[in-house]
Amino acid sequence: MIGNLEPEERVMSQELPKSSTPSIMITKSTGGMLGQFALALQKLGWDADDELSVEIAGASATGTATHPDANAKWAKPFGTVTYQNDAFIVIKNKTRSPMVFSQANPELKQQHPYQGETK
């Protein structure tokens, strides 16, 4: 036989590319969590082609500047975002929720005359 079927060099590096978002190591417990997530999406009738938006809620952000001598434990630097223990994840399906403004019901009629002041 002529040739060798064994790879002579590694094509892919051993390290995964660094990203700005934290990554999750897929374990048995996260696999179960992702399976529950997939079942919930299926129950809602969402498709793989739907455009989703994932946001973290339950966060607090420092919106005021603090004194330089302030205790760092109690006065976090301006712009610091911390997640509470009860933070939650909001998943919005942008494909299935178009912006529809509310419309007044034309069948509703005022029953009593307005007695207040008009401006």
DSSP letter string over the chain? --S--S-SS-SS-SSPPP-SSPP----HHHHHHHHHHHHHHHHHT--TTS-EEEEEEEEEE--S---TTS-TTTSPPTT-EEEEEEEEEEEEETTT---------TT----S---S---
Specify the pTM: 0.47
Under the banding of pLDDT at 50, 70 and 90, the label for residue 104 is confident
Dist CA 96 CA 53 (whole Å): 12
Which stretch of 15-19, 38-42, 78-82 has the lowest confidence by average pLDDT? Answer: 15-19
Residue 105: pLDDT over 70:
yes
Q: Percentage of the chain with pLDDT > 70?
A: 72
In sequence order, the 6+-apart residues with CB closer than 8 A to the CB of 63 are 78
Domain limits of the chain?
A: 47-97
Under the banding of pLDDT at 50, 70 and 90, the label for residue 3 is low
Q: Name the residue among 80, 91, 88 with its Cα closest to residue 38.
A: 91
Residue 68: pLDDT over 50:
yes
Under the banding of pLDDT at 50, 70 and 90, the label for residue 69 is confident
- Higher pLDDT among residues 63 and 103, named by residue: 103
Tell me the mean pLDDT in the region 10-27.
53
Tell me the mean pLDDT in the region 70-75.
73
Q: Name the residue among 27, 29, 25 with its Cα closest to residue 16.
A: 25
Dist CA 106 CA 119 (whole Å): 25
Q: Name the residue among 57, 53, 59 with its Cα closest to residue 88.
A: 57
